[in-house]
Amino acid sequence: MRRIEVDTTLASPGQRQRYVAKNLMTKLALTTLFVIVVSIHAAANASAEEAPSSPKEVASARGAATPEAAFSSFHAAVKKDDWEAAFKVLTDESRDFLVGSLTMATHLGMLGPDGADLAKKHVDAEQLDLLVEEMKKLPREKQPTIAPKVSAIVKKKAQFLSAVLKLFVELKRENWLNNLKQAKVVTLESVTVKGDTARIAIRMEEKDDVGIEHAGLKRVKGRWYVDYQGRLR
């Protein structure tokens, strides 16, 4: 901002006094205006973070403000079998781990011929065979690191994941995500936050069965996401 100098040396004492008073009032007014503008700007930013202003922003929003909200959104999406919505509150690593590991499971025949057919429908077989060979060369503990490459070649990830989880049900195979979806009552028993990570204990009730599962969450750029791999640690 350009500073304007005013020469008051030729003014009378009364004029100088009035000038000083007027100048002080102007500064106070500008300061007050600046504070008001900053406050409005901060409030607008806070409102935008808490509640996107348009349906389009709501649809594209990723993550959640708290670990509890992230899990609640994830649970609601899983219940509806809406994996596009679930992906928005999953870390990218979790999405790739889920899609990649289930792709490998179906491709390698771990879910029978129906699983193999699903893999053929959603993944280029030649590309996947190359990745399988690459995975076999890795030490066993490093093999899950191939998941992002596998996930990258899966067409329509949400549809694929939904179909595989339905196949788990048909084959009566145990799966944590299906347990979460089918449970009649799901409540958070505890939430423990340490910096940018959190651990939650989830109580799931299905008829006479009651179980406690644990899951991890991560905070990325101020937003919380479910860390599916975190539940395996």
Range of the domain at 21: 1-51
pLDDT confidence of residue 172: 87
Task: Evaluate whether residue 176 is within a structural domain.
Answer: yes
Q: Whole-angstrom distance between the N-terminal and C-terminal Cα of the chain?
A: 55
Q: Looking at the structure, do residues 44 and 81 belong to the same domain, yes or no? A: no
Q: Which two tokens stand for residue 41?
A: 């700007």
pLDDT tens per residue across span 128-146: 999 999 999 999 999 889 9
Q: Looking at the structure, do residues 14 and 72 belong to the same domain, yes or no? A: no
DSSP states along 51-119: S-SSHHHHHH--SBSSHHHHHHHHHHHHHTT-HHHHHTTB-HHHHHHHHHHHHHHHHTTTTHHHHHHHH
Task: Evaluate whether residue 207 is within a structural domain.
Answer: yes
Task: Evaluate whether residue 59 is within a structural domain.
Answer: no
Residue 57 CA from chain centroid, whole number: 15
Q: Which has the closest alpha carbon to 188: 212, 208, 220?
A: 212
pLDDT confidence of residue 206: 83
Q: How many CB atoms lie within 10 A of CB 130?
A: 13
Kind and range of the H or E element at 189? strand 185-194
Q: Looking at the structure, do residues 41 and 143 belong to the same domain, yes or no? A: no
Task: Return d(Cα 151, Cα 145) in angstroms, integer.
Answer: 11
Provide the number of structural domains found in the chain. 2
Kind and range of the H or E element at 215? strand 209-220
Task: Evaluate whether residue 5 is within a structural domain.
Answer: yes
59 Cβ partners below 8 Å, 6+ apart?
none
Looking at residue 227, the DSSP 8-state letter turns out to be: E
Low-confidence ranges of the chain (pLDDT < 70): 1-60, 229-233
Q: Looking at the structure, do residues 154 and 74 belong to the same domain, yes or no? A: yes
Tell me whether residue 4 is exposed, middle or buried, using C-beta atoms within 10 angstroms of its C-beta: 0 to 12, 13 to 18, 19 or more: exposed
Inter-residue contact 122 to 102 (CB < 8 Å)? no
